[in-house]
Every structure is written in structure tokens, then in C-alpha cells.
């Protein structure tokens, strides 16, 4: 006879437990892409947004995008498990928006920055700490070699030890390691020409992408989520490259695994609490590629495991 599981007033066949576990694992993280600019504007922004949305389901993420600073309110931001700044330049938030954004980070919200996201809100100290360092300058677009410093990180594990790219090699106004960031990628300065001048100490090896286990932009009494930043991503062609997309998606999934938002932690204060997103920007199924597979599977496994633990406890109670 098929075993039965009693859940309150419900009696369910035990054979349905795998289906329940799958449902418990179906939480979709929500991320807000913010791509507003006030100075230089990258023409690759639409391509980048399309690429992220197209790969979203491969890492169990639903992306919304906006360039409207009025969306930076407590009520709107609390829906998201991370905010992704994409190619921003200049003063892209007013004082109210900045305050709401920092409150979101204080409540455990996660942050991802891409390319010129390090060249906005330049006079906002806490934002500089959250992203890790502010942009200073870059030499001309160049073919360069990127060295993988931390090959175990989900944003780099798929990359060759020496990664050859056509991109802008950013220099920064400070060393991101000074705020606790771990540098994962470094520009090999012998592989390209940089006439300078360099007026700031950004540390060595040359920081190109990094991550923070606890974002340094939160206030002292806040709950810090994770922060990830990559300075790469200038060209439209870059956003069509599967290896680059795997790098970015790996950074995003690592950031979400902070366990400080509702998609993964039911006691969190911000994030997506629903089993499926109601966003109008739910991503389409990805094409077959290696992009995000390893890190996405890890995130989905952790979500499944959490659901399985709950079911195991219920089963233990029932059979006692």
C-alpha cells in the first residue's frame, strides 16, 4: 500500500514528495537592471540587457530593467534579490533614490556592477565602497590578456588561466582590496599599452573584477549582502560572447547565494518571496551553451536542498 503523509488537514501519497520538492525549489530570484546614464552612454546597453534576459532562466533569475530613478523607492526595491548597475555614468540617482538604495543594501540586498557602473555616483562614498572602487581612466580599446587570480570563483571557474579579450582596461582611483574585496581577475599590463598618467594607487596585481562577501556600502548596523563587479563589457560583441556571459552569470549567481534575500531565506527582509516571478521581464529559455550552467545548477541545488530539509523534518514528525 502506498504510504501517506499527513500535512495538517491534507493527506498526500508519499509518491508525490518529489513533485513537492521540485515546487519548493522553484523560487525565482528577481534582479533589477539599472542602466541610466548622465554622461557617456554605451551603445551596447540594449544588447547587454537582451543577453541577460535571454540567459535568465538558465540561472533561475527573472530580470526587470529600468532607467527611471523614481523606481528607487523602498517599496519597489524590496521586491528584488539584487540590483545590477549596468554601464551607468554620472549622477544617476537623486538624494531620495540614493537613500532608498542604501536602505535596501542595509536590509540584505545584493549588488552587481558591470563595466562603467564604477563611473557613476562619484561623490557618494558609500556607493564607492559598495562597488569597491571608482573608475579613473582607460587607454584606448585594446587586445589584452586577463589573468585569472581566483579560479575557484563561480565568475572565473570557466575561464582559461590567461583570457584574451578585446575590451577597455580600466584603471581605478583606489584599491578595491582596501574595502575587503577579493580580486578575481587582473589585467596583464605587459599585454597592452597604457600611456597614463596614473594618479592613484589601485594596488597590484591590476584589479579587473572582484567580489565582496559583505558589501562595504552598508551602514554599521545593516545586514550586508554580497557585491560583485567586473570592469569588462564595453562592446556589443562582448555581450554576444558565451564565455563573457558565463563570467557575468557566474558572478550574479554567486552574489545571490548570500542567503540574505527572500528567494533563498524566508526570514529575509527583501527579495522575491514567490515561487515564480510575476515580472513582465521573465527571461526566455536560454540556448544550449555552458553559460551559467555550473553556478546555476549550484543555486538550484541549494534551493532544492532547503525544500528537502523541510520535507524531511515533516516526515520525521509523521513517522515518530
pTM score of the predicted model: 0.80
For residue range 49-61, what is the model confidence (pLDDT) as tens digits? 999 999 999 999 9
Phi and psi at residue 47, in whole multiples of 5°? -65, -40
HEC per residue, 41-77? CCCCHHHHHHHHHHHHHHHCEEEEEECCHHHCCHHHH
Tell me if residue 255 falls in helix, strand or coil. Answer: helix
For residue range 211-268, what is the model confidence (pLDDT) as tens digits? 999 999 999 999 999 999 999 999 999 999 999 999 999 999 999 999 999 999 999 9
pLDDT at 304: 41
| DSSP of 108-138 | T-EEEEEGGGGEESTT-HHHHHHHSS-EEE-
pLDDT at 274: 78
At what angle are helices 293-319 and 242-256 packed, to 10 degrees? 30
Cβ pair 234, 118 in contact under 8 A:
no
CATH class of 29-264: alpha beta
Which cell is 104 given?
535596501
Cβ pair 104, 218 in contact under 8 A:
no
Q: Domains of the chain: which residue ranges?
A: 29-264
Which cell is 243 given?
564565455
What is the residue-level pLDDT of the chain in tens, covering all 320 positions?
Answer: 344 444 343 344 444 433 333 333 347 999 999 999 999 999 999 999 999 999 999 999 999 999 999 999 999 999 999 999 999 999 999 999 999 999 999 999 999 999 999 999 999 999 999 999 999 999 999 999 999 999 999 999 999 999 999 999 999 999 999 999 999 999 999 999 999 999 999 999 999 999 999 999 999 999 999 999 999 999 999 999 999 999 999 999 999 999 999 999 999 999 998 744 333 333 332 333 333 333 343 444 344 444 444 444 444 333 44
Amino acid at each position: 500500500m502506498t504510504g501517506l503523509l499527513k500535512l495538517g488537514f491534507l493527506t498526500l501519497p508519499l509518491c508525490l514528495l518529489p513533485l513537492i520538492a521540485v515546487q519548493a525549489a522553484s523560487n525565482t530570484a528577481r534582479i533589477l537592471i539599472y542602466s541610466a546614464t548622465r554622461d557617456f552612454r554605451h551603445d551596447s546597453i540594449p544588447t547587454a540587457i537582451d543577453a541577460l534576459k535571454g540567459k535568465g532562466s538558465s540561472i533561475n533569475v527573472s530580470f526587470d530593467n529600468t532607467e527611471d530613478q523614481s523606481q528607487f523607492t523602498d517599496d519597489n526595491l524590496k521586491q528584488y534579490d539584487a540590483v545590477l548597475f549596468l554601464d551607468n555614468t554620472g549622477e544617476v540617482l537623486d538624494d531620495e533614490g540614493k537613500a532608498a538604495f542604501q536602505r535596501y543594501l542595509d536590509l540584505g540586498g545584493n549588488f552587481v556592477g558591470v563595466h562603467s557602473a564604477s563611473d557613476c555616483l562619484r561623490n557618494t562614498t558609500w556607493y564607492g565602497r559598495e562597488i569597491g572602487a571608482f573608475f579613473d581612466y582607460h587607454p584606448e580599446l585594446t587586445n589584452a590578456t586577463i589573468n585569472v587570480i581566483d579560479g575557484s570563483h563561480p565568475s572565473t571557474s570557466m575561464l582559461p588561466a590567461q583570457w584574451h579579450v578585446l575590451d577597455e582596461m580600466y584603471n581605478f582611483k583606489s584599491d578595491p582590496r582596501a574595502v575587503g574585496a577579493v580580486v578575481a581577475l587582473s589585467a596583464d599590463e605587459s599585454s597592452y599599452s597604457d600611456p597614463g598618467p596614473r594618479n592613484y594607487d589601485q594596488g597590484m596585481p591590476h584589479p579587473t573584477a572582484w567580489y565582496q562577501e559583505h558589501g562595504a556600502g552598508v551602514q554599521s548596523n545593516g545586514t550586508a549582502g554580497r557585491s560583485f563587479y567586473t570592469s569588462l563589457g564595453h562592446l556589443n560583441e562582448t555581450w554576444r560572447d558565451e564565455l563573457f556571459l558565463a563570467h557575468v552569470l557566474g558572478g550574479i549567481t554567486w552574489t545571490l547565494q548570500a542567503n540574505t534575500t527572500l528567494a533563498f531565506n524566508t526570514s529575509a527582509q527583501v527579495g522575491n518571496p514567490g515561487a515564480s516571478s510575476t515580472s513582465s521581464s521573465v527571461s526566455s529559455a536560454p540556448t544550449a551553451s555552458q553559460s551559467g550552467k555550473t553556478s546555476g545548477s549550484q543555486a538550484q541545488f541549494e534551493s532544492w536542498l532547503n525544500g528537502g530539509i523541510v520535507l524531511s523534518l515533516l516526515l520525521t514528525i509523521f513517522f515518530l
